[in-house]
Structure 1
Amino acid sequence: MPAEHHPLRAVLETVGPQSCPGELNFHCHTICSDGSLEPKDLIQQASSNGLRHLAVTDHHSSAAYLPMQAWLRAEQEQGQPVPTLWTGMEISCILRGCLVHMLALGFEAGHPALAAYNRGDAVVGEALRADSVVKAIHDAGGLAVLAHPARYRLGFRELIDAATELGIDGGEAWYDYDMQPHWQWTPMVCEQIDAQLKNLGLLRTCGTDSHGVDLKGR
């Protein structure tokens, strides 16, 4: 499926500074990588919090997706309202000589194009290059999003421009760089990132990057 027709695009086009953490969350973790929540506990919390859409983006693992989907189906069969769960994964890669993280969102679960990145650890060699990661995400039918652009050794402006040249679909615009107990997007830097992405015609996402037991915090 061409990225411009991806069903997740319509959701991401609505993302703004107030979307997270109450409505949308496209960056969080479970025990399948370095998070604290079991997949079932995370999806239960997401549902009770009233989230409309989310993706769990464990590092180099999509293992949480199927058990969460099973829980959601059981809830739906009982007539309960549930959020929409999208596939997700956070993949390490090298961009302009800098180690960055790329979010894979809305890809086909179990697609072989992402098999090398779905084994719990970062890859080595040519597969570690950002262009290889972006291609793999697209081949699997997903969207490639540069995670937290202002957390790296190189500046976010340079990294976003470099990632754009590789065909990324968007960037994580709304993020808590101060890592507060209760998530709050960081003024100025997030606004600048949002403006740059918008000017480039790219999607903007948001996420709490939760690793603890509360989806509303870091």
Structure 2
Amino acid sequence: MCTAESPQNSRSVGPSREMPFHGQVDLHCHSSCSDGILSPAALVSRAKANGVEVLALTDHDTCAGIAEAVAAGAGLGVEVIAGIEVSVAWGKRQLHVLGLGVDPEHPSMEALVQAQRRRREARAEIIAQRLEKRGFHGALAGARAQMEEGAEVLARPHFARWLVAAGHVDSATRAFKKLLGPGKIGDVKPDWPELAEVVELLHECGGLAVLAHPLKYGFTRTVLRRLLSAFEECGGDAVEVVCGQQTPVQTRDLAAMAVEAGLAGSIGSDFHTPGQPWAELGIARMPDGVEPVWNLWQNGRPIRPVR
């Protein structure tokens, strides 16, 4: 947990300035380079079809798809922002933090990606061993076979897809409920880097740090408020006030907590695959009353769209 006093905060959360773009924004999505289905180019094309003009590609623990996404965006008129979703530790809890506008070629980013890949590979081997003991033979090879071409991250959704393909369960949702989700045999927690360490690294690499999908952790309201306070103390910049499926009441509540914690708001679909309307590209809208994260790009904490 982040308990130390925070350094002088360099962001300016003053009066909002004019938004630097006028179309829809999606600042959280995944391609086949991690656990998504679509290639980076196909992802950008789908975003364009959905009216998205600014898209952040935030694959899990990798920046491998950024170059392809940028090239596709240049041809389609979609501004692509280099992003990443990093798995981190907050005490004994696991969280995800987005880096928006990071430099994929920064030495610290390259080192982080390599370290996360090693952690994920080690986790995948443990998951496979546990599944083997339960009679699910060939789990590791099966999960690898579910990785899309060019994927650099082996993740639990690949095991879920294999379990479905092998006929062990009837859906990926069922795979997580029975075998891969919290408290199940596939719930293996690697030695993720600490929250404060990752926030500092993302800033070092030129990006903003955004707490991803805060409602997905199952925290009580008290713990969630403590997390937002700790994130701000660590130098975090924003929290996703809209991500995937949530009610208007939840959105208003998150927006109020973001303001209370002194954090800006971000939005994203957390898109992984077509056919999930609650997590479709471009679905999220920024609620009133919270400072949009893109204002920070103009108010002293610029992030660089990749050119």
Q: Tell me the distance in 1 between the aligned counterparts of 2:37 and 2:17.
A: 31
Q: CA deviation at 1:143?
A: 0.2
Give the corresponding residue for 2:208: 143
Runs of 4+ displaced beyond 6 Å: none
Q: What amino acid does structure 1 have at the position aligned with 2:64? A: A
Q: Tell me the distance in 2 between the aligned counterparts of 1:213 and 1:83.
A: 19
Q: 2:107 aligns with which of 109, 112, 117?
A: 112
TM-score normalised to the size of structure 1? 0.78
Give the corresponding residue for 2:194: 129
Q: Tell me the distance in 2 between the aligned counterparts of 1:57 and 1:215.
A: 18
Q: What amino acid does structure 1 have at the position aligned with 2:268? A: G
Q: Tell me the distance in 1 between the aligned counterparts of 2:55 and 2:276.
A: 11
Bigger Rg, which one: 2
Identity level (%): 31
Q: Tell me the distance in 2 between the aligned counterparts of 1:66 and 1:46.
A: 16
Summarize the Cα distance change of 1:134–1:43 in structure 2 as closer, same or farther, 3 Å threshold.
same
Give the corresponding residue for 1:180: none
Give the corresponding residue for 2:50: 49
Q: Is the 8 A contact 1:175 1:186 kept in 2?
A: no
Aligned ranges for residues 47-196 of structure 1 at < 5 Å? 47-73=48-74, 75=75, 82-119=77-114, 121=117, 123=119, 128-155=193-220, 156-177=224-245, 185-196=246-257
- Encode CA deviations 1:25-76: one digit per residue, 9 max, x unaligned: 1111011000010111011111222212110111001111101112233x2x
Q: How many residues are matched?
A: 193
Q: Tell me the distance in 1 between the aligned counterparts of 2:95 and 2:257.
A: 18
Q: CA deviation at 1:153?
A: 4.4
Summarize the Cα distance change of 1:144–1:98 in structure 2 as closer, same or farther, 3 Å threshold.
same
Q: Name stretches of at least 5 consecutive residues in structure 2 with no aligned partner.
A: 1-8, 120-189, 280-307
Q: Is the 8 A contact 2:31 2:43 kept in 1?
A: yes
Q: Is the 8 A contact 2:99 2:210 kept in 1?
A: yes
Q: CA deviation at 1:215?
A: 8.3
TM-score normalised to the size of structure 2? 0.57
1:201 correspondence with 2:197: no
Q: Is the 8 A contact 1:173 1:190 kept in 2?
A: yes
